[in-house]
Amino acid sequence: MRQSIYWVMALSAGLVVANNYYNQPLLIDLAHTFGTNERQAGTVAIAAQAGYALGLVLFVPLGDKVERRKLFAITLSVAVMALLAMAAAPTLPWLIAASFVASMMSVTPQLLTPYAAQLAGPEGRGRAVGIVMLGLLGGILASRTVAGTLAAHFGWRVVYISASVATALVAVVLARRPPRVVPSFPGSYRALMGSLARLLREEPVVRQTSFVAALQFAAFSAFWTTLAFHLHSLDNRYGSETAGLFGLVGIAGACGSYAIGRMTDAYDPRRIVLAATLVFIASYGLLAWKGESIGGLIVGVVLLDLGLQSAHVSNMALNLRVRHQAMSRTNTIYMTIRFAGGAMGSVLGNYAWSVWHWPGVCGVGAGCACMSMVLQILPDRKARCVER
């Protein structure tokens, strides 16, 4: 398979996943627009995380049953309409509802990852996943910079108009460019969904990686959901543009995902996850210690993203080795639990900020990261990754 197709998938994944994260540097602007407080504005980010988790459950398993290009066309078309509804939102509840739908339909990246792994085969799977993940993670981080810059100069509604155009272009490309792959699941949708519980019950590797990732993403989301509030509370009263620029800082850490993807083809991904978690915990130690300065925040963000994304790529590599004929469903379980953890982290971070401010947010993040470490070192003799 030509390498160019993986880079097309990477760009597509980055443009679509960004729909879930544009809101994070805009929360102060949204609070001002709708005359509400920071905690209520933070509900937009929480709705996006929850919508994405639901979309993973409802649509990503269909990657094993329905030709993926049809799924791309349907889900992305609805996402375009929801993004336009966000741009036109007259009230905060309208914006929250539209945010939920837009994120629920922006699950294309999680269909592309197993798609790339399937096309690459066992020998090149780690590299293919690493390429797609590089695009996906770059989209997550660059989205904050794009959103913050556009909002500072043209207003936050322009962000969602631009997002709808980008998503529409991706829909056109993915309807034509990727090769067809015959679906592997012949049963009904009900049987497909029922197999998710069976996979979770029968595969200890998937259980462990999913809950480790959920705790790590909870810590990650607690930081990014409250960063705009924290920057605005500093002496210089930094706004959405500065909050968005931290996305560029995070890209330096996330770029390691491509190298990590190649390493998982040669080394035990469990050891990479463990090492990455130590980096992740260290990042929160630094953020708690030096988080009142821009320099401390910059270094902390680089470490935070490097640790999280390295662990994420390695966890996915473990999962995609489990059952070759159920890659989309395995990815559904993993990503649904992970994003449920992200939604939980947004809620906890939002609450911690409203009560204890930055020390509370750092406490939430460090606590979740340490719990993920505990899950990794707990003995589990059944957690053996056997490729089927």
Range of the domain at 201: 4-176+186-377
Q: Are 276 and 326 in contact (CB under 8 A)?
A: no
The answer, yes or no, to whether residue 385 has pLDDT greater than 50, is no
The whole-number average pLDDT for the span 346-370 is: 94
The whole-number average pLDDT for the span 353-375 is: 94
Separation between Cα atoms, residue 267 and residue 15, nearest integer Å: 31
Burial of 219: CB neighbours in 10 Å, binned 0-12, 13-18, 19+: buried
The whole-number average pLDDT for the span 42-68 is: 89
The answer, yes or no, to whether residue 313 has pLDDT greater than 60, is yes
SS3 61: helix
Most confident option among 113-117, 166-170, 350-354: 166-170
pLDDT at residue 15, rounded to an integer: 96
The answer, yes or no, to whether residue 384 has pLDDT greater than 50, is no
Is 66 within a domain?
Answer: yes
For 25, residues 6+ apart whose C-beta sits below 8 A from its C-beta are 144, 147, 148, 151, 227, 228, 240, 241, 243, 244, 246, 247
Task: Tell me the per-residue pLDDT of 89-108, one tens digit each, with 9 for 90 and over.
Answer: 999 999 999 999 999 999 99
The answer, yes or no, to whether residue 309 has pLDDT greater than 60, is yes
The whole-number average pLDDT for the span 279-295 is: 92
The answer, yes or no, to whether residue 383 has pLDDT greater than 60, is no
CB atoms within 10 A of CB 80: 21
Q: For residue 237, is it left (φ>0), alpha (ψ between -120 and 50) or beta?
A: left
The answer, yes or no, to whether residue 326 has pLDDT greater than 50, is yes
Is 384 within a domain?
Answer: no
Is 382 within a domain?
Answer: no
For 117, residues 6+ apart whose C-beta sits below 8 A from its C-beta are 125, 128, 129, 320, 327
Weakest-pLDDT range from 133-142, 306-315, 374-383: 374-383
The whole-number average pLDDT for the span 194-218 is: 92
Burial of 237: CB neighbours in 10 Å, binned 0-12, 13-18, 19+: exposed
Is 102 within a domain?
Answer: yes
The whole-number average pLDDT for the span 68-88 is: 94
pLDDT at residue 238, rounded to an integer: 84
The whole-number average pLDDT for the span 364-370 is: 95
The answer, yes or no, to whether residue 301 has pLDDT greater than 50, is yes
**Considering its fold, how many domains does the chain have in total?**
1
Report the share of the chain in percent with pLDDT over 70.
Answer: 93
Is 349 within a domain?
Answer: yes
Is 388 within a domain?
Answer: no
Burial of 262: CB neighbours in 10 Å, binned 0-12, 13-18, 19+: middle
Per the prediction, the chain carries an average pLDDT of 87
The CATH number that applies at residue 22 is: 1.20.1250.20
At residue 386 the predicted structure's pLDDT band, cuts being 50, 70 and 90, is: very low
pLDDT at residue 138, rounded to an integer: 82
Task: Tell me the per-residue pLDDT of 145-191, one tens digit each, with 9 for 90 and over.
Answer: 889 889 889 999 999 999 999 999 999 999 888 888 778 788 888 99
The two structure tokens encoding residue 310:
């390295």
Is 221 within a domain?
Answer: yes
CB atoms within 10 A of CB 271: 11
The answer, yes or no, to whether residue 380 has pLDDT greater than 90, is no
The answer, yes or no, to whether residue 116 has pLDDT greater than 90, is no
At residue 261 the predicted structure's pLDDT band, cuts being 50, 70 and 90, is: low
The answer, yes or no, to whether residue 35 has pLDDT greater than 70, is yes
The answer, yes or no, to whether residue 1 has pLDDT greater than 60, is no
The answer, yes or no, to whether residue 237 has pLDDT greater than 60, is yes
Is 181 within a domain?
Answer: no
The answer, yes or no, to whether residue 68 has pLDDT greater than 50, is yes
